[in-house]
Amino acid sequence: MAPCDEECRNMPARNQTMFYRQLFAFAIIALIASSSGAAPLVIVSHHSSPFVIDVAADASPAILAAAKELSDVIAQSTGVRLPVTSQRSVGPMLAVGSARRKPVSLEGIEIERSGRNILLGYPADRSAVYSVERFLEVTIGARWYTPDEVVLPHRDSLYAPDTSITEHPAFTYRDTDIFETRASALFDAHVRLNGVSCPDMSQVGGANLDFAGGENFFELVPPAKYIAEHPEYFSLVGGQRRTAGDAQLCLTNDDLFRIVVDSLIAKAKSNLSLTTLALSPNDAGDGACQCDRCKAADARFGGPAGTELDFVNRVAAAVDKALPGRHLKVMTLAYQYLEKPPLNARPADNVLICFCPIGACIGHGLQNDPPNQNIRKNLEGWKAITRPGNLYIWHYAANFRSFLQPVPDWNELAVDFKYYKTLGVAGVFVEGNYQASGEMNELRTWLIGKLLWNPRQPVWPLIDEFCLAYYGAAGSDIVQYLRALSAPLSTPGVHLNIYQGARDGVLTDDALRQADAALSRAESHATDDKFRRRVSIVRLSLREVDIERSIPGPTASETEKAAFRQKLATFEADVKSAGILRLREGASTDQYYTQLLGKAK
């Protein structure tokens, strides 16, 4: 391995142990990858290279883009640019999209030695993209932590040991809607996210369109269009047909069935790239129809989930009959009042189930945490009746009451992703802070990408690596901050939910004191404006908790109220300076501040 560059040699002493631990890990990866013990290939030495980068003459845009990135990154690291060609018939070459082994997955990483050539990826877009990126990680130490935080160490020489690396993703669908995901399709590919939240860009293989998780009953059957003449299309609740609040559709109405089928067929015809259609209830806690036919269906199927599933199965069959060449699937959500699996019904082969554990403790895993046992039982019930490859998860990873408040779900992410893998879950969508930058968004996006690819990785070494790179000399202090906030979850009875308040459960006084002390150390250790700004954004989370906890009570003096208003005004200015546009789901920052100011009058 080439020596560390000047920046690494000058790294502050307090971070060198962590850095060399990671450097050693990179070396071990390369050694493990070596299968035959042959002498390593020298790709670059003494400012020159005999290698070219080879692609097929008819290579796709994604494979061509991967080859270009390979050339660009090697040039940035070594100063030597390898030309991209489709004319070379003999080596030495780095051949992109040319792996010969039979692929297990079209997204799989394959780095294969063939004489003096290195074959990078199968002739499939995502495989080539990911294999190139993995090769650059192993040989150069390249890392993409955010779209703007890229580590490309300088190498005077570049070696490719006799690598034989084969990796396949734990989940075929890997997605999060965290705000930062939208910034760059290339970055999303670097962390191996592939879902519909990522920009759909052909140069990285395009988005995986198998997921369609929208709550869309009223989109398909708009109340404004139908309620006046056909109130019977809408759910009967408490003796009234509803179109607001807990309101759904009457799923046993024959005319409604035809309207939904026609709506989905029209949607499929309008977008020929679609592979999956959404058909799910509105985002409401309940609203199941209580008409006589629906109640009879509920009794037959053991609850409203069976009535809804029977409806979805019939719709999916009708769509498939109308568009037989499309092989379309229909996704529905096992969500809220539909979380419990049905009796005497199972999803059709072209129906995808997305299980949404919205009520779970996200501080502990589903498998072993007592408060999560009913949710676990429901998930495993759906698994038992769903065709392999057709079960998806809608996971939650934010505080939707306050996007800035700490969410110490780091251990839980790793535990639950491993559990999902053992269940045979095909894909995971992680709903996070999707409306604005916020609490540890950068780390959470990167970490989710890493764990959805391989959930068996230990989570804290990954956090260590990210924080060291993203916060510089303050990195280990940020790790201590995160560990301090996570510590209360080891106490029996302490839990974390997605609407947690500033005085609830996990945010104990002791944890907040320790977290505050760690941030103070981080502030003193941050070496330049870039790192100081990043640490100050982390500090906003504790400041938000402090504001929530210090709202003046009814007996507060005018002096106390004035001090609170000043604290809030300073906080508001700093939040805007940080580019944070939303502090809670569905409410603007102005609405948030107005509400708090109202309490201080």
SS (H, E, C) 438-470: CCCHHHHHHHHHHHHHCCCCCHHHHHHHHHHHH
Name the fold adopted by 6-168.
Chitobiase; domain 2 (3.30.379)
pLDDT for the residue numbered 38? 55
Average pLDDT over residues 432-457: 94
Q: Are 600 and 564 in contact (CB under 8 A)?
A: yes
Q: What value, to the nearest 5°, has the Cα angle with vertex 378 and ends 372 and 381?
A: 140
Give the tens place of pLDDT for each residue, 471-526.
999 999 999 999 999 999 999 999 999 999 999 889 999 999 999 999 999 999 99
- Does residue 25 carry a pLDDT above 80? no
**Buried/exposed code over 335-351 (b: 16+ C-beta within 10 A; e: otherwise):** bbbbbbbbeebbbbebb
Average pLDDT over residues 367-396: 97
- Does residue 104 carry a pLDDT above 70? yes
Q: Are 397 and 448 in contact (CB under 8 A)?
A: yes
Helices 558-577 and 529-549, axial angle in degrees (round to 10): 150
| Nearest CA among 359, 360, 338, 354 for reference residue 426 | 354
| Nearest CA among 371, 346, 347 for reference residue 357 | 371
Domain ranges of the chain: 6-168, 550-601
| Stretch (H or E) spanning 309 | helix 304-322
- Does residue 1 carry a pLDDT above 60? no
pLDDT for the residue numbered 28? 39
Both tokens of residue 312?
């979805």
CA distance 343 to 270: 36
CA distance 550 to 552: 6
Give the tens place of pLDDT for each residue, 390-418.
999 999 999 999 999 999 999 999 999 99
